Amino acid sequence: MIDRHSLELALPGASIGAVAGAMAGGLTLFAGVPTGLAALSALMLALPLGLFGGLYGVLLGRGVFRPGTFGPCGLYWMAAFPLSRLVQESVAGTGGLAGGAGGFLLYQAMVSLGFAIGFVWIHERLMPHWLLRVAPANPQAEALLGLYVHHAEALRARKGARR
Amino acid sequence: MDTSKPPATSAPPVEDERVWKAGRLEPMPIRKLPDAPPSVHILGPTVFLVALGVGMGESYMWPRLVLLFGPEIRWLFLIGVTLQAVVMLEMARYAMATGESIFSGAARVFKPLMWFFFIVAMAVYIWPGHLSAGAAALEQISGIPWMVTAVAGLILVGVIFSFAKVIYNLLENVLSLLIGALVIGTAVVAAMVGSWNDVVTTITGMFAFGYLPAEAMTAAWFPVIVGACAFAGPSGMQQMWYTLHLRASGAGMGAHIPKVHGLRHAGEEEAMPSRGFMFDTEDPAEMAKWKGWRRWVTFDALLLFWGITMLVTVSFTVIAQAAVRQNPGVRDVIQNEEREVALTAMADAVSSAGSSVLGVIFLGFIALIGLNATLGLFDSFSRGQADMTYNFVKGAKKLRMSHLYAGFLWGVIIFGILILLFGPADGPAGILDTLAFLSTFAMGAYCVTLLLVNNRMLPKPIRPRWWSNVIIGCGAVFYLGMLFYSLFAFGVVVG
């Protein structure tokens, strides 16, 4: 059961996913698609990417992912990104599936690694600031913030070694 | 290891008195190596190298070559970027082991070698030409004349860096967001416009080793290919500056060196030591920590640097291929020698194929890349020149590093504005060839410098492996060989 505290952790990831999806959806205009369908296409990518982005934040809070590590996040998006694109193409298709679903999914899985790098990169920048805001009233956020603080302290300890 | 230990005294020493003698300069005191980061953390100074490296080579030069000669030409790109990843690891070796920049390492081998790089940096990087592509792209989108954007951008960079408390932190934050947006954006664009076939041809093309069509071996195109190879990943002296960012981020022994502050906070800066430090390479615990640091930087080199550079180029190539599919005329237009004209033609082709949205996004990326490069380049140039001046010009230590940094920064900004207003942005036409030559020559030269510094100035247990030396040696042959072949066979430097 996902409660309010978990949902708060989901916000940064959900925002990144949704913005990226909306931006990408705009590109369907490239294929000369009518504006209404393009808007639907944008929504159909922003929605799943936002959901998966948010879920990443929730799983981070539950300790499934560790802050700042790429490997598990890369695998996560390797499944989530092609799935999101598949949803988009199924509902508001722009011809991406014309060459067959196999090739389509394979290609999207490859591109997803790039997406994952960008996602983790920005998420790591936003999450600590967001946690600082919500931690006082959110024990899950406080625990996650503790991990970031631990990391920052380890970094400071290194600098403390300076003569 | 070649350390000297003073005779034992009755009172125990407060600090380790041993030193590591490297070259004829001041020996490095032995200090503790800090612990490597607890996890393989994604954030690191590689952001600078990516920001500087992902530039015109990735967004323009290589997509253009692929359209002209086919995807098979990309084997040269694969070699170029892989070579740069190894160079990055070797640059990091010296910087993390000593907390010194590679310039100091070069001075330990042979001082004139360092002055050579000082002069090359002055000659090549004071011209504001690199601003023009990004500012011109912004003009296409917004209608604001590029000269206005470029001059305003220059002043803004100077003001921001002067007021920042710790310049490195500010720049890392800004560049991280910009690069993150660029990476997500290009991935998504490629996901939308590309197909599995585009990637198959682009990737298989990378393994067509030895492919060089007859047209590529002409005076018109071979120099362009040499230029593109030099611009695959970080070009010119960017890798050398990376050692300064690594130190500023506190990586390895860089943790023992204070950070450079902005001019307004110069008074808070600790005095900069005149030499780096070394750790005890005979202590197994220290060597275990060293291995942790090497893992950390290898991850950065492979995933962030190699991965992002590849991703951006593959994406831009896929976009360019999609544009040609829509409008075959673009192939003729991009043969145009003028970079701005060709870039506009690519954006126009992309726009006319569907809507103006993709054209604007394409130009937006070019502007973003230009902004990243400008921020990174100005900081790096000033950091490098200030480091060399502080350590090797007599009397310079009376000033703080922050003052020298600010001096070089504002010097290059004011010169840049004057040139933008009254002179040729890329440099006087008569010396353009010399500048292009120096930039590529510096890359061959830093490969040789790296071999000398890492194999002669570091203790044996942390020297590079033989295969790494072979790759760096091949790098020197690759850059210098192509440069001189172009010069002697075709009488042209680089395109």
Give the pLDDT score at B476. 95
The distance from CA B131 to its chain's CA centroid, rounded to whole angstroms, is 16
**Residues 8..67 of A with a Cβ closer than 8 Å to B: which?**
16, 20-21, 23-24, 26-32, 66-67
CB pairs under 8 A between A and B: 155
Give, for A81, the enclosing helix (H) or strand (E): helix A71-91
How many domains is chain A built from? 1
CA dihedral sign, ordered B57, B358, B202, B221 = negative
Residue A143 is given by DSSP the state: H
Q: Residue B274 has what pLDDT?
A: 79
CA distance B350 to chain A (A): 8
Which of B31, B196, B355 is facing A163, going by the closest CB pair? B31
Chain A interface, best mutation among B184, B317, B357, B361, by max A CB count within 10 A: B184
Residue B49: per-residue pLDDT: 67
8 Å CB contact of A163 and B191: no
Mind telling me how many Å the CA of B146 is from chain A's nearest CA? 26
The verdict on A96 touching B (C-beta cutoff 8 Å) is yes
CB contact under 8 A, B38 and A118: no
CB contact under 8 A, A125 and B185: no
ipTM above 0.90, yes or no: no
Mean pLDDT per segment of 10 residues, for chain B of length 495 residues?
A: 41 65 89 76 62 68 81 87 92 94 94 94 82 75 81 84 72 74 79 76 81 84 84 84 86 84 67 85 93 87 78 75 70 65 64 58 73 79 92 86 90 89 69 74 93 95 95 94 88 67
Q: What distance in Å separates residue B354's CA from the closest CA in chain A?
A: 4
Tell if the CB–CB gap between B355 and A158 is shorter than 8 Å: no
Contact across the interface for B183 and A118, Cβ inside 8 Å? yes
Q: Which residues of B touch A108 (CB under 8 A)?
A: 191
- CATH tag, B38-490: 1.20.1740
Chain-chain contact of A68 with B41 (C-beta, under 8 angstroms)? yes
Task: Among B42, B195, B361, select the one facing A121 at the smallest CB separation.
Answer: B42
Chain A residues with beta carbon closer than 8 angstroms to that of B40: 68-70
pLDDT of residue B286: 93
> What are the residue ranges spanned by the domains of chain B?
38-490
**Contact yes or no for B191 and A115 at CB 8 A:** yes
Question: If you measure CA to CA, which chain B residue comes closest to A120?
Answer: B42
The residue in chain A having the minimum alpha-carbon distance to the alpha carbon of residue B252 is A158
Q: How far is A103 from chain B (nearest CA, A)?
A: 6
Does the beta-carbon distance from A107 to B188 stay under 8 Å?
Answer: no
The domain containing residue A101 runs over which residues?
4-160
Q: What pLDDT shows up at residue B192? A: 77
pLDDT by residue for chain A (163 residues), tens only, comes to 567 888 889 999 999 999 888 876 665 555 556 777 778 888 888 999 999 999 999 999 888 888 777 778 889 999 999 999 999 888 877 666 777 788 888 888 888 888 888 898 888 888 888 998 988 888 888 888 888 887 766 655 555 444 3
